[in-house]
Amino acid sequence: MIIGLTGGIGSGKSTVAQFFRELGTSVIDSDAIVHHLLTTHPPTLQAILQRFGHKIIQTDGTLNRRELRAIIFATNTERYWLENLLHPQVKAEIFKRTAILLPNQYGIVEIPLLIEARFQDVVDHILIIDCPEKLQIQRTIKRDATTKDAVQSIMDNQSDRLSRLAFATEVLDNTGTLQALQIKVAALHQYYIELSK
């Protein structure tokens, strides 16, 4: 059984994923797969370089992810182009990694844009980490040392909160303390163990 873990920016997805890892759950991070593709897969890098030019390459030869993010969030055309390049490769890698799970075992796939990228076919359940948008903005500003406008720009390219929640199999409210969140994750862990038997 594969659980898709998602939520808006600053909702606490990575923290929840880490709590599941600490409980012994196999967690696949789709962002890590993308990072791997962007750093070690020459055909993907070459296609991106041809599309966006040398401005997205840093002096040490690595991809300037911040510059690339600015480009793709500024125009839907470029974002769709990059998604069409990366998403099939990410899906293939997720299927490859989830195929090795043992019978009667569940796994988590952390996919920030699960709804927006239409990755529902990759998972059996959708766990949405939820909190008010105001809290998302506050957390992201603090975490990334960024501006409210920059966070809002990213949120404008994500599903709005109500649209996202409509896809949920389970919703995990993350408006309280880390301790409260950890307790909720432990309860979900037991629930998923029972479901996967």
Which domains, ranges and CATH numbers included, belong to the chain? 2-196 (3.40.50.300)
- In sequence order, which residues have a C-beta less than 8 Å from that of residue 184 and are 6 or more positions away? 172, 173
pLDDT digits (tens, 9 = 90+) for 71-124: 887 888 998 899 999 999 999 999 999 988 877 789 999 999 899 889 999 999
pLDDT per residue as tens digits for the range 132-186: 999 998 999 999 888 898 888 888 878 889 999 999 999 999 999 999 999 999 9
pTM: 0.88
Q: Report the amino acid identity of residue 94.
A: I
pLDDT digits (tens, 9 = 90+) for 25-46: 999 999 999 988 888 888 888 8
Return the pLDDT at 178.
94
Beta strands in the chain (DSSP E): 2-6, 26-29, 107-110, 125-130, 170-173
Helix (H, G, I), strand (E, B) or coil at 107: strand
Q: Where are the beta strands (DSSP E) in 41-169?
A: 107-110, 125-130
Q: Which is nearest to 192 in space by CA: 29, 16, 33, 30?
A: 16
Q: 157 is written with which tokens?
A: 């390219």
Q: Could you tell me the pLDDT band of residue 55, with boundaries at 50, 70 and 90? A: confident
